[in-house]
Structure 1
Amino acid sequence: METRTVYFIEGDGIGPEVWAAGRPVLDAAVAKAFGGQKKLEWKEILAGKKAFDQTGNYLPDATMETLKSADLAFKGPLETPVGGGFRSLNVTLRQVLDLYACIRPIRYFQGIESPVKRPDLVDMVVFRENTEDVYAGIEWASGTPEAKKLIAFLRDELGKNVDETAGIGIKPMTPAGSKRLVRKAIRFALDQNKPSVTMAHKGNIMKYTEGAFRAWGYEMAKAEFAAEVMTEEEAKAGAKKRLILNDRIADAMFQNVLMYPEQYSVIATPNLNGDYLSDALAAQVGGLGLAPGVNMSERLAFFEPTHGTAPSIAGKDMANPGSLVLSGAMLLEHIGWHDAAKLIHKAVEKVLSGKQVTVDLAGQIPGSTQVGCKKFGELLQAAL
């Protein structure tokens, strides 16, 4: 038997519910696809409220040490403790473990009622830089000594006038951070035979951060992928290579993914743009309840549902385990267990067509019947 170890964090809020409903679906898909010859071995590690209750620490050292040597991990949603010393548990994990690529595939499932006319044309994978931009942002509040000192420095040393009452923020972006994100997007696109990678940025205004992201992406592609990747201009001039690398201004990109989604397959973007774009795309195909995701370093793939802890419905059997299940399908694809992942995607489509769905989806599927989190997981497992 081939066994792959997956370290998991149950999560806060609805985390235990979606985990209990979703994990059996993943195990059943593997068993059915491979006849007992492959198996996921789940090992729990602690973070969040459960960790605090048991250890007095929201992010125990033992958890971080385990993750630093792991290659596969899975987590439910984590809430950030108020006054707990963390800007965000999720951001802390991403920065300490160098999970620099947030990867979110967005595709349409038949039966969902969408706010757009052709949601079936949405089939994109967003690569969002995870450690720089606003996630590495440095801020000082309006009126603080630090803000005043920086404003004075900008005025006196650099000749830049900033209102004395302004709050100040800095968003660092580096050549290395930008290049490795675009590099991962290009490698994925080549491996999956995708036609293009589009860099989405606001470089027309922020020329030395987001504009540099664009320039560094082209520079890296020319140096490392010259035999396989061409620019849009080269393609128009008649070049014949496997992949087009192009770019779009962020505001135009938002319009384009609504109006011309069939033109885009892989998107590479700085942090904040990726946050907006991935959620906006998810809204076109059913919302975050069906939006999977993974955060990756060069070694660790850390899968997670993209929704939050949803404390208002926690413990009420109302949550949707779909995002967790589809994140599990991503994990199976990542390790090459494609037959099991295909079973999961077909099961999701079958259950949605049967119109027995959780409350978040019931409002988007005409004539549907609302079921609980546990029942939805059981339906998915039966549909395998």
Structure 2
Amino acid sequence: MSPYTIAVIGGDGIGREVIREGVKVLEAVAGRGLALTFEEAEMGAELYRRTGEDLPRETFDLCQRTDAILFGAAGLPDVRFPDGTEIAPQVTLRFRLELYAGVRPIKLYPGVPSPLRLPAGRTIDYVIFRENTEGLFASRGGGAAVGREVAADTLIVTRKGTDRIARRAFEAALGRRRRLTCVDKSNVFRSYLFFREVVQEVGTEFPEVTLDGAYVDAMAMYVVQRPWAYDVVVVENQFGDILSDLGAATVGGLGMAPSGDIGDRWALFQPSHGTAPDIAGKGVANPTAMILSAALMLRWLGDRHKDPTAAAAGDRIEAAVAEVLVAGGTLTPDIGGRASTAALGDAVASAL
């Protein structure tokens, strides 16, 4: 089904640095029946500081007309909206494009240090399916405040939103180890009980998948104590935001954590990390999460368009990343090496 046109948006901070490596690797894997073209656009905090817009119309239009979106990172701590919240156009895109499935793979690759001491024969390889457009994030841009004394935000859980993320998660589990864990706080909050009930209802249509549940506070302990026990996790928006960062810490950090924000028509792929202004411009940011996000993008294109060439290219990128990581000669400082951002990207491109 190629050629595919990819919207490329670097954003702010290290987002601009790592996205260059993502494009570099995509260019290296293209060919053999896979044609990719790239169109660049701007959004983010620097753009807002310069123009007063964080997500201009032309960027949004590009996102709508291209086949997929490859994004770096956005937001800077000193650039905020008048209400005091940070610039986050990627979250705006989730809502406007209905990118309801936040897919966050948590995988420990050989050669990458983990702060956990895993038993012999155990590893970490699970995927978090985060509901992306409801939950506590539904209050973004809203909420209520009474002077400087009281503030409130509302958590929203709907049947439609929970049903569709649950189906995505069950479908993913069918292609993996066929276990799904629903994470919530249903012992205290009615909204989370409703979330679990809808997940359980959807589960009756997937008898091949074993469904269990965990309260979020306990789950934060379990993914440290026995992360190998998990396969696919489905979770509300805010809890998913927190657990995915915790999971990333167990597999080498956010530089090892790719993600996809996926809807029924559009999808955006980005590293889970932020703009890291403390290391921006130093050339030491880890581009692995960006490169693995590009691999996720190709697999999504392959699945959406029934294009095995695109899907295979995504697999080739992940295999090349694994080869470079286990070799160990071009690791960035965050995972124990001394290599630059570009050197790691070059190594993956060469491995292809």
Q: TM-score range by the shorter chain?
A: 0.7 to 0.9
CA distance in 2, matches of 1:381, 1:321: 12
Aligned 8 A contact 1:8 1:44 in 2:
yes
Q: Does 1:123 align with 2:97?
A: no
Distance 1:52 1:115, change over 3 A: closer
Deviations 1:29-71 (A, max 9, x none): 233xx2xx21211111221256457865221112223323444
SS at match of 2:11: coil
Distance 1:101 1:2, change over 3 A: closer
Q: Does 1:216 align with 2:190?
A: no
Letter in 2 for 1:114: S
Q: Does 1:189 align with 2:189?
A: no
Which residue number corresponds to residue 265 of structure 2?
299
Q: Matches of residues 52-71 of structure 1 in structure 2 within 5 Å?
A: 52=48, 57-71=53-67
SS at match of 2:258: coil
Letter in 2 for 1:300: W
CA distance in 1, matches of 2:320, 2:17: 20
CA distance in 2, matches of 1:72, 1:93: 13
Cα displacement (A) at 1:143: 4.8
Aligned 8 A contact 1:103 1:128 in 2:
yes
CA distance in 1, matches of 2:27, 2:115: 34
Which residue number corresponds to residue 98 of structure 1?
98
Aligned 8 A contact 1:51 1:60 in 2:
no
Which residue number corresponds to residue 81 of structure 2?
83
CA distance in 2, matches of 1:325, 1:84: 35
Equivalent residue in structure 1 for 2:318, among 318, 332, 345: 345
CA distance in 2, matches of 1:175, 1:94: 19
CA distance in 2, matches of 1:107, 1:168: 36
Deviations 1:88-125 (A, max 9, x none): 32221211222111101111111222121228521111
TM-align CA RMSD: 2.2
Which residue number corresponds to residue 198 of structure 1?
181
CA distance in 2, matches of 1:320, 1:371: 9
Deviations 1:15-40 (A, max 9, x none): 22112223111221233xx2xx2121
- Where does structure 2 lack aligned partners over 5 or more consecutive residues? 303-309
Letter in 2 for 1:21: E
Distance 1:53 1:271, change over 3 A: closer
CA distance in 2, matches of 1:48, 1:98: 19
Cα displacement (A) at 1:276: 1.7
CA distance in 2, matches of 1:70, 1:22: 17
Percent identity at matched positions? Answer: 35
CA distance in 1, matches of 2:346, 2:176: 34
Which residue number corresponds to residue 14 of structure 1?
14
CA distance in 1, matches of 2:265, 2:131: 16
Aligned 8 A contact 2:176 2:231 in 1:
no
Equivalent residue in structure 1 for 2:161, among 177, 180, 184: 177
TM-score by length of 1: 0.81
Which residue number corresponds to residue 315 of structure 1?
281
Aligned 8 A contact 2:5 2:39 in 1:
yes
Q: Matches of residues 240-255 of structure 1 in structure 2 within 5 Å?
A: 242-255=208-221
SS at match of 2:127: strand
Cα displacement (A) at 1:335: 2.1
**Bigger Rg, structure 1 or 2:** 1
CA distance in 1, matches of 2:150, 2:17: 44
